[in-house]
Structure 1
């Protein structure tokens, strides 16, 4: 395997671990800093919002930077943010450091995927992207539960030191093994947002945003929501998150097969429908360990199985703007993740932490409705194009 791609995947592993591990240590952060779990949950919100908002801005502003320099700068900022989190004395410092870490992730992640594709011949680009993005899948399956387990051995600050160390390793790998790569052609922020004028693309992105707002409204507070099943034991929670990550990886591969064979509509609607039912049952399934494990398997398969058909739908709408649309889809996902912290906090305040699945189910069901509207819009435009082509031919 190309070690240059492995280095980029390691950086994505660090970023993914930082995204997902916070949920597993929120109770410890809350107790250590003397704040509510809802306030501590804004660590996820700030990080995700920083990533989502700054990714397109940095892509436009730093287009003239050599890729290696931008990757190193991004990882340095990411490491600095996590270092500050590990030693932060108060929730204010923690939230500020989460913004810095999100900035570093915004500099590194989109650049890493574009760089990975540029390092190989055109016919191998998809495989190269799969290797780089595999870092994120590995973060859900390994990074997050390992970080949660490490936090159980020490405290939540130990987990942040772990993320910092992985970031340092990734940065060293980029420095030693990645060649100098010239900057990509400059693209303005306005040009990046042109595809949003197409209602089909905009609706697809909204589907991603709404769906992952629902998914992560519960995930952000997974330690508190599943504490009946885990008994408050970090090692049990880590095992459940490991199961969730394995199911997520399996769901991702299964979605690729289903989408190729049956199209994106079946994969999208099936994932969202199953997930909505699963989340609606969480108030009952989280009461026991065995049912919690089953719920997390369905959640992992459906939640991460949604990304592939969503990306397939976007690419099929505008093949020439594939990289741009996938970047916007990632931004929509992270906006959803950032919103989930607020949504989950409101749900805990208004209802109960064990009822949070009902709010997640409502958002996922809404995403299903939007996905169906999107499909009808796509079908309508396709039918118009066919009629236009027939009239021109006649």
Structure 2
């Protein structure tokens, strides 16, 4: 694999940590800001909506820029957004910083487009999994470490650490990136025709639905784990780390399975496993070993879905892969925002311990769109 992809892995580790670190420290953050946990959870919604709506616009507006410049500027914007969050003493200031972070997260879509352009089609799954494994690794390193720091020293501390790390990776990009990267920029040209293709719409719908399913729970992962079994800070950090490790495994396995079995068969199995684990989560209450087992299997299935999804879209229109991958990222974050928006009020009704059941219908609806995308789509066929 091209060495540039390993640098993207590191950058996505920082982005993933910044995006999701608040999930582990929602309770102390809500207390410090004087708001409810459900209100504090909307920090994820702000980030997600910004990434979904603003990042594609930024991607197109910078379509004629050298790819290296886009990568460096986007990481700098992400660092600035984190710095604002670290200094926030009210929810509105925190939300403003999260919006700016969402704009900077355009980095991930640009990096994915470069990965597709740098390798031959039969290696796309593995190239994309290498880029996105940084996001998975954030659950192993960033999220548990952030939870530990947040409970020990205050929620501002892990956010400030992310801001500093993002600034360092921005400097590394500026020094290491070649001046010319052979990858297309994004544009809206031909997008209307693409969005009239049923298989494109079904593929994007699947991303939306399975992220709603996941993030109606994961946006509140700290309170969910505590509702299932009260834990010390150290035990919660270890639990989150094990979940993150499963995500790394899932990302690698998902890329391999995509190249070996094709995206449709891979996604069919992953969705079935994801729905089954969500059904089982409330039944693990009081048993730490079962909690870990169910969330580990969940992580392998859930994290593994990104590479097959990205590969499906890239195969539909390789020349327009950057904008399609950006739209897929938009669906990811709209799903994240909807999940967080649904999960907060739902938890007040069903309780945090049974919140996973709320996500099951969305996972099943995702499975249905996968089936419809195959039966109705005319031009796509699984590898």
**Distance in structure 1 (CA, Å) of the matches to 2:196 and 2:54:** 21
Q: CA deviation at 1:59?
A: 1.4
Q: What is residue 62 of structure 2 aligned with on the other side? A: 62
Equivalent position SS for 2:190: helix
Question: Structure 2, unaligned stretches of length 5 or more?
Answer: none
Matched, 1:79 2:106: no
Unaligned runs of 5+ in 1: 384-394
CA distance 1:68–1:124, shift in 2 (3 Å): farther
Partner of 2:343: 344
Q: Which moved more, 1:339-348 or 1:256-265?
A: 256-265
In 1: Cα distance, 2:182 partner to 2:259 partner:
34
1:301 aligns with 2:303: no
Q: Quote the residue 1:391 is aligned against.
A: none
1:129 and 1:275 mapped to 2: Cα distance? 21
Alignment of 1:178-257 (within 5 A): 178-181=177-180, 187-257=186-256
Question: 1:196-236 deviations in whole A, cap 9, x for unaligned?
Answer: 11011101110110111111110000111110455242322
TM-score (norm 2): 0.90
Shift of 1:5: 4.2
Larger CA deviation: 348-357 vs 85-94: 348-357
SS of residue matched to 2:355: helix
Which is worse superposed, 306-315 or 233-242?
A: 306-315
RMSD after superposition: 2.6
Q: How does 1:289-368 map to 2 (within 5 A)?
A: 289-368=288-367
CA distance in 2 between counterparts of 1:153 and 1:287 reads: 25
**Kept in 2: contact 1:57–1:189 (CA 8 A):** no
Kindly report which structure 2 residues correspond to 1:266-281, keeping only aligned pairs within 5 A, or say none. Answer: 266-281=265-280
Tell which structure's C-alpha radius of gyration is larger.
1
Query: Matches of 1:269 and 1:190 in 2, distance apart?
Result: 32
Deviation for aligned residue 1:122: 6.1
Contact 2:56 2:323 in 1 (8 A): no
TM-score of the two chains, using structure 1 as the length reference:
0.88
Distance 1:21 1:382 in 2: 37
Larger CA deviation: 301-310 vs 109-118: 109-118
Distance 1:340 1:176 in 2: 38
162-171 or 180-189: bigger deviation: 180-189
Corresponding residue pairs, total = 380
Give me the whole-angstrom Cα distance separating, in 2, the residues matched to 1:121 and 1:264.
18
Indicate conservation of the 8 Å contact 2:109/2:322, yes or no: no
Change (3 A) 1:55 1:194: farther
State the partner residue of 1:133: 132
